[in-house]
Amino acid sequence: MKSRNAMVQALRQHWPEYLIEGWALGMFMMSAGVVTTLFEYPSSPVHGAIANADLRRALIGVAMGLTAMALIYSPWGQRSGAHMNPAVTLTFWRLGKVARSDAWWYVLAQFIGGTLGVLITSRLLSNAFTAPPVNYAMTLPGAVGATAAFIAEVIISALLMSMVLHVSNSRYARFTGVCAGLMVATYISLEAPLSGMSMNPARSFASAWPAQQWQHFWIYLIAPVLGMQAAATLYQRRHRVACAKLQHPTTQRCIHCGYEPAVLRVTTKPYSGEVL
């Protein structure tokens, strides 16, 4: 009962942040759907104009990296922290920087928002998006197989979280979103042939559920969480984590560390960007 009351209270107080998390991943998935269809649907004029598959993939990576940056630095993204990923949220929860109730609402919103983004895209683009080769922009193992895909997902997820922790807890914190976008672009360009480049259970679920293709979903459910938790464990041995936000502007409240803009409280010290 106590846990249920905490969940209800958190929903009443923090529902804008939860909606933002759902919105953010939904927008990311809509962008992924439109961009992938534009470059990979055989009848697309862009696909016809760019015959080189590696170049098309690199351009998709650039587009998705820019999408990630735009969402992270948007006013809404700055308010929620722009996790957009259950693996990120659960890592900060394990680090003690996200309350349990907030973590579970974040995760639920991310799964729902991402799935709605794919469903909306499928309605807008129809068979161009849902049929092969685009196939709902699913994340699937490449020719090297499921084992290699699992290992690759663990590695890229660990590297991403390591970057987030090191940059966001330094004087260069404002560049966390830029670094994240660059990593997304690089991974799509170079790593996608191995695993499809997910790093995100909700992102993979959002494509797998409408397509009803679950054969390899376990990879994207387990590997990102495992990789990010491992990175956080290594980081925590020598460093402290300030907050769960990727961006921490002074104009937005923070439900994770308690910061309120332009409000002086005895019990809350305004976030300074320094490691606490």
136 close to 124: Cβ distance less than 8 angstroms:
no
Q: What is the C-alpha to C-alpha distance for residues 225 and 217, in angstroms, rounded to an integer?
A: 13
In-domain check, residue 273: no
In-domain check, residue 253: no
Q: What is the C-alpha to C-alpha distance for residues 149 and 220, in angstroms, rounded to an integer?
A: 9
Kindly report which listed range (1-5, 12-16, 26-30) carries the lowest average pLDDT score.
1-5
Using the Cα atoms of residue 108, residue 257, residue 158 and residue 182 in order, give the sign of their dihedral: positive
Kindly report which listed range (56-60, 86-90, 192-196, 250-254) carries the lowest average pLDDT score.
250-254
Q: For residue 32, what are its two tokens?
A: 């992924």
Q: For residue 164, what are its two tokens?
A: 């987030």
pLDDT value of position 3? 76
Whether the pLDDT of residue 74 is over 50: the answer is yes
pLDDT one-digit tens code per residue, 217-253: 999 999 999 999 999 999 999 999 999 998 888 899 9
Q: Of 253, 201, 246, whose CA–CA distance to 223 is shortest?
A: 201
In-domain check, residue 68: yes
The number of angstroms, rounded, from the C-alpha of 219 to the middle of its chain's C-alpha atoms is 16
3-state secondary structure of 241: coil
In-domain check, residue 262: no
Mean pLDDT of 19-39: 98
248 close to 271: Cβ distance less than 8 angstroms:
yes
Mean pLDDT of 194-222: 97
CATH, residue 40: 1.20.1080.10
Range of the structural domain that residue 218 is part of: 2-236
In-domain check, residue 57: yes
Whether the pLDDT of residue 140 is over 80: the answer is yes
pLDDT one-digit tens code per residue, 154-176: 999 999 999 999 999 999 999 99
In-domain check, residue 125: yes
pLDDT value of position 1? 65
* Number of domains composing the chain: 1
Q: Which residue has the higher pLDDT, 143 or 276?
A: 143
* Residues paired with residue 268 on neighbouring β-strands, in sequence order: 265
Whether the pLDDT of residue 263 is over 60: the answer is no
In-domain check, residue 252: no
Which residue, chain included where needed, has tokens 């962008």?
31
Whether the pLDDT of residue 273 is over 70: the answer is no
Whether the pLDDT of residue 272 is over 90: the answer is no
Q: What is the C-alpha to C-alpha distance for residues 46 and 209, in angstroms, rounded to an integer?
A: 28
pLDDT one-digit tens code per residue, 92-111: 999 999 999 999 999 999 99
In-domain check, residue 246: no
Q: For residue 30, what are its two tokens?
A: 């809509």
pLDDT value of position 6? 84
